[in-house]
Amino acid sequence: MAFRNLISSDRGAVRSITINRPDKLNALNRETINELQIAFDQARHDDSVRAVVLAGAGEKAFVAGADIAELSAITPIQAQTFSRAGQRMMRTIELLGKPVIARIQGFALGGGLEIAMSCHLRVGSERARLGLPEISLGLLPGFGGTQRLLRLAGRPAALELCLLGQPVDAVRAHQLGLLNRVAAVDALDDEVNALADQLAASAPHALAGILDAILVGGECPFAEAMDFESKAFALTCTTEDMREGTRAFLERRKPAFTGK
């Protein structure tokens, strides 16, 4: 389908989804959230897609937050609906079963940091600035930001970023685990593309099993999580890709995974 606020394109097995509202610093309004839900549902069901890159248009921002003009006129009932739609979309990203990389070239604030935290890997340029400034609007994060930040960076950092609302730079974000890698501004695309290509060349069933074991199993009691991992491991042993991977290792060549 044609999107008003997104650009979707494929480079081999890598799908790029770009939030295209540069005049609004790619702020998330209801229409954009709905389009992102559709775009990621499409990526989930397209077997030719093995990895996804989520980006924001322009050089200033990945996503600068929610659309304040829309938010300022929202009713409490509409606010809850908006929050749940954003949470549902970001949970779709988190549980996509395919690795998603956030390409962060500038500001990732509020909803921008929340959607970045729902991605599996985050690569930021040296100019990236990340934060949850909702407190300055008399609000708190509503798309899962308090909970994902707590799990990624721990309670002290979550309390500091949410209570004070001040963004951190790329170096501090990397120290907190909010960024997996920091790249020079002119090397950001090379870094993101190299990661995406590596993931797209990996065995899809193994990738999905790893994501499930960490994201779903990680929320379970330890004994249950260990059983979850064991079953996921056994399931990968039913795939042709597992046979190809072990055979390629023994034959000292690169494997060619087909997703079967």
In the set 35, 134, 191, 229, the catalytic residue is 134
**Cβ atoms of 87 and 147 closer than 8 Å:** no
Task: List Cβ<8 Å contacts ≥24 apart for 20-24.
Answer: 20/57, 21/57, 22/56, 22/57, 22/58, 22/60, 22/61, 24/64, 24/67
The residue whose two tokens read 């000292």 is 252
Say how many residues make up the chain.
260
With beta carbons less than 8 A apart as the criterion, state whether 188 and 125 touch: yes
DSSP 179-227: -SEEE-GGGHHHHHHHHHHHHHTS-HHHHHHHHHHHHTGGGS-HHHHHH
Catalytic residue among 31, 35, 59, 114: 114
Residue 59 is a catalytic residue: no
Q: Does the active-site annotation cover 134? A: yes
Q: Write out the catalytic residue numbers.
A: 114, 134
